[in-house]
Amino acid sequence: MRDKAHLNTLLAAISDDPAGSMPPPIVQSSLFAFDSYKAFEDRMSGRTGQPIYTRVQNPTVAAFEALMADAEAGEAAVGFASGMAAISSTLLAFLKPGDRVACIEHVYPDTYRFLERMLRPLGIEISYHSAAAFEDEPDLLRGVQLAYLESPSSVIFAPMDLPRVTGHARRHGALTVIDNSWASPVFQKPIALGVDIVVHSASKYISGHSDTVAGVVIGSQDHIGRIRDLTLPLLGAKLAPFEAFLLIRGLRTLGARMKYHEATANMFVDRLAGQAGVRRVFSPGANTVPGLTGRSGLMSVEFDDTVDIPRFCDALGIFHLGVSWGGFESLILPARVGLAQAGQHNSMQKFNVSPNLVRLSLGLEDAEDLWADFTQALSQGAC
Ligand SMILES: *Cc1c(COP(=O)(O)O)cnc(C)c1O
């Protein structure tokens, strides 16, 4: 029955707590004790699944992992302390010096910094390609060990035809990893489209409440087993039980929230098309590529030169300025702030992001209120 259930039904699954609680209990224990020498020895030799130590295994975290494996239609999942911990622990588990990585352009800025500042110095080669190049150049992945994908990408939200790209990857024996934070499993299930490993920043839509930083990786038993064997215990960036509890609470409403974000985003995309001051909108909708079934609330808008972006931002009343996204509150992030960010390997500069771009995260406020706020700020920002 559960095998065939729809996502919303899977995410409503109650815990198997013997006391009958709906959510799983928060098991706030660092270690788990054993009744007998034999039981301890059996566990240490891997003959039972009982938890030993929360760096590696914890019942509340396991409950979140089980929900995520179901949601993404994967065999197994492993939680992490952040999206970046999920990404770095995945890449380090599968790459070694001399390997080659092909990465999507406009990748999440800290993923770009991880590739450039930590993997390249270890002797791993990295190249960046557009979604169109991944689709149309069947030999792009020749000699590549790992394709790191986002569909849609960050910043300009370029979607890619995943069945096509994963077909090329299989022919060349390249492992495929995708960051599915934008779509969430509600709007895209990459494993069903041929991707090997899905990573998430669970800090975004999965949490949904702007109160948690977390990550998760989903894939086959073999792939997740390798991460559990190597980078989870040895780098130790584990998910905490309380965070896992908050994420489970977020997952209960994920389907309903994504539908609401989508309705507001569709309204914005329709109205922005005729809006003075707007040059371009970056927001892929349902069915722009195979397997993408909805539009999330994260999009970018490029203004023309008639808009004073700092003045526009300061005139907003409901939208707040800030990083992150996917919560209940609407946020705006101007690209110029990212372009001005100090330090090595600024991906906004590397990928030539327009200074006239702003990213919107449309939250769960009333859609008409959001539109009224956006347009009144636009008229105050006109120059
Ligand atoms: C936020 C984000 C991350 C990083 O996640 P953290 O939980 O902040 O570490 C990775 N990928 C994308 C697309 C993100 O937006």
Query: pLDDT of 4-61, one tens digit each?
Result: 789 999 999 999 989 999 999 999 999 999 999 999 999 999 888 899 999 999 999 9
* Tens digits of residue pLDDT in 258-316: 999 999 999 999 999 999 999 999 999 999 999 999 999 999 999 999 999 999 999 99
Domains of the chain, earliest start first: 7-252 (3.40.640.10), 254-380 (3.90.1150.10)
- Of 87, 197, 204, the residue with max ligand 1 atoms within 8 A of its CB, to mutate for a pocket test, comes to 204
* Residue 2 banded pLDDT, cuts 50, 70, 90: low
What is the chain's mean pLDDT, rounded?
A: 96
Residue whose CB lies within 8 A of the most ligand 1 atoms, among 80, 82, 84, for a mutation test: 84
Closest residue CA from atom 4 of ligand 1: 83
> Environment class of residue 185 by beta-carbon count within 10 Å: exposed (0-12), middle (13-18) or buried (19+)?
buried
Q: How confident is the model at residue 323 (pLDDT cuts 50, 70, 90)?
A: very high
Ligand 1 geometric centre to CA of 345 (Å):
17
> Order of strands, edge to edge, in the sheet holding 357-361?
278-282, 298-303, 357-361, 331-334, 320-321
**Residue range 198-240, pLDDT digits in tens:** 999 999 999 999 999 999 999 999 999 999 999 999 999 999 9
**Ligand 1 residue neighbourhood (C-beta within 6 Å):** 82-84, 108, 154, 179, 181, 201, 203-204, 213, 215
Q: What is the pLDDT of residue 228?
A: 97
pLDDT score of 343: 78
Residue 362: both structure tokens together: 């449309």
Quickly state the pLDDT bin for 341 (edges 50, 70, 90).
Answer: confident
CA distance 301 to 155: 10
Q: Whose CA is nearest to atom 8 of ligand 1?
A: 83
Residue 245 CA, ligand 1 centroid: distance in Å: 19
Question: 24 Cβ partners below 8 Å, 6+ apart?
Answer: 15, 16, 17, 59, 60, 63, 245, 248
Provide the β-strand partners of residue 103: 128, 148
Tell me the average pLDDT across 140-145. Answer: 98
Give the confidence band of 3 by pLDDT, cuts at 50, 70, 90.
low
Task: Return the pLDDT at 210.
Answer: 98
Please identify, by atom number, the ligand 1 atom nearest to the C-alpha of residue 324.
1
109 alpha carbon – ligand 1 mean position (Å): 9
215 by Cβ neighbours in 10 Å (0-12 / 13-18 / 19+) ranks as buried
Closest alpha carbon to 380 in 279, 330, 274, 309: 309
- What is the reported pLDDT for 348? 87
φ, ψ for residue 167, nearest 5 deg: -65, -45
Mean pLDDT, range 81-104, rounded to an integer:
98
Q: Rounded mean pLDDT of 344-365?
A: 93
Residue 181 CA to ligand 1 center (angstroms) comes to 7
Q: Atom 2 (ligand 1): residue with closest C-alpha?
A: 201
The pLDDT value recorded for residue 172 is 98
Q: Which pLDDT band, with edges at 50, 70 and 90, does 160 fall under?
A: very high
7: its two tokens: 């996502």
Under the phi-then-psi rule, with left for phi > 0, alpha for psi from -120 to 50, and beta for the rest, what region is 278?
Answer: beta
Q: What residues contact 291, with CB distance under 8 A and at least 6 apart?
A: 162, 163, 188, 189, 190, 192, 193
